[in-house]
Amino acid sequence: MNQDLLINTVNASLEPYPMEELTKIRLRLLKEQKKVFDFGTGDPQIPVWQPMVDAMKSHMGSYSSYPSVRGIPELEKAHLSYLKKRFGIEDSAGLMTVPSKGSKESIFHIALSLIGRQGKKILIYGDPAYPVYRSSALFAGGTPYPVSLTESNGFKLEPWNLPLDVQNNAAAIWANYPHNPTGANVDKAYWLNLIDWCHQKDVILLSDDCYVDIYDSGFDDPSQQHLRPLTPLMYSTDRVISFMSLSKRSGLTGYRAGMMAGDRRILEPHLKARANFGVACPTYVQHGAVVAWNDDEHVAQRRKIFTERVHFASQALHGLGIEHACPTSTFYLWAKIPSKFKGDDVKFCLDLAEEGVITSPAKWLGEKSSGYFRLALVPELEETAEAMNLIEKFIRRSI
């Protein structure tokens, strides 16, 4: 029997998860005993800060019990304290925080509570984007609505320019600044406009703040702190939910820890729903998360590493004549495909991968994007330098 007849149409029509394609290529190259420089997936391999490891180890007892979706009280305290310290967000009756098992699952599952509210089924998001916004809408029976983000407007998502029927039928909108993959960021005025639009149109603002703490290490200087990325939660909890993560902030990608913070009127019923999903963060990981949210020094050290890599790679790309803007947040470079490749980002990345340098083509990071490739500055500086030499040779050879 045709496999597609055994599953539903949403699953049958899913494109392979783009990162899995990259993994396949990488594994093939490794099998062929080629040296691989992997700038594909944003998973920086920096040792986990020891106090987090210690906290987790000390809570791995000999009995095993189910964790709760609400989380341990110490974690809620750490969430609230982080929000206050980092963003000046005061605890209030309207604010709630909920632990997540990394932000990916929470991004996926929120659609199940929001799609269909008041009959509204559209989920708006920018393109290129984290692919889970789209798949979450589809699995929840909603309508994904990608909006092209272009360089000409700083990759800003501006829903007020969309057709009125889309604006009126949107259940929620995803914003993601600092933005993966472009590294773009927005200012307070943008957030205020977006919040205002959400309130006028009664749309839930979902802010993917995965990279909010990954900014230029120069901004750690108190005189530069006004340049640090913002979250819309600083300006309103009304119909705003922020999705934060310890993956990039604290390097806990493998342990899976994040939080949702925002409008209690949404998160409280959503928590009830989450009890069905099997997504409670293991208790020992929650203890590691408490340590992680309570400390910024280890994050400042990670920022230094990322900033050095971003500046180094950006200079190297400039030297090769590859156009891009050097971002002040995230660890991604979003670069234009050299003109001789005629904008064919997939061919560029596949051919470059054969040389051992894995990067992500724009087409795999969105439905409407093309002509760019993304470098996740995951490898160390020496490896990045080696990879840049390979990119240079590859481009020269392709002339």
Ligand X SMILES: Cc1ncc(COP(=O)(O)O)c(C=O)c1O
User: Which amino acid appears at position 212 of this protein?
Assistant: V
Running DSSP on this structure, what letter comes out for residue 335? Answer: E
Are the CB atoms for 102 and 245 separated by under 8 Å? yes
Q: Which is nearer to ligand X, 376 or 388 (CB)?
A: 376
Q: Which is nearer to ligand X, 87 or 332 (CB)?
A: 332
Look at residues 175, 131, 102, 118 and name the one whose alpha carbon lies nearest to residue 20: 131
Helix/strand/coil for 185 = coil
Distance (Å, whole) CA 159 – CA 378? 33
Q: Which is nearer to ligand X, 44 or 338 (CB)?
A: 44
Name the burial class of residue 343, with classes exposed (0-12), middle (13-18) and buried (19+) by CB atoms within 10 angstroms of its CB. middle
Provide DSSP, 48-71.
PPHHHHHHHHHT--SS--PPPTT-
Residue length, the chain?
Answer: 399
Nearest 5°: phi and psi at 393?
A: -60, -40
Q: Which residue has the tokens 């992997």?
A: 38
Q: Which is nearer to ligand X, 176 or 185 (CB)?
A: 176
Distance (Å, whole) CA 146 – CA 73? 38
Distance (Å, whole) CA 26 – CA 389? 19
Q: Which is nearer to ligand X, 172 or 316 (CB)?
A: 172
Looking from the CA of 10 toward its CB, the CA atoms found within 13 Å total: 11
Are the CB atoms for 211 and 330 separated by under 8 Å? yes
The CA-CA-CA angle for residues 383, 211, 301, to 5°, reads 55
Q: Which is nearer to ligand X, 204 or 316 (CB)?
A: 204
Q: Which is nearer to ligand X, 97 or 169 (CB)?
A: 97
Q: Which is nearer to ligand X, 69 or 388 (CB)?
A: 69
Helix/strand/coil for 144 = strand
The residues of the shown chain that bind ligand X, judged by CB under 6 A, are: 42, 102-104, 107, 130, 176, 180, 208, 210, 245, 247, 253, 258
| Shortest distance in whole angstroms from residue 113 CB to ligand X | 18
Q: Which is nearer to ligand X, 17 or 160 (CB)?
A: 17
What residues have CB less than 8 Å from 153, skipping those under 6 apart? none
The CA-CA-CA angle for residues 216, 222, 225, to 5°, reads 50
Question: Quick count: other Cβ atoms within 10 Å of Cβ 382?
Answer: 8
What are the DSSP E strand ranges found in 264-394? 332-336, 357-358, 360-361, 372-376
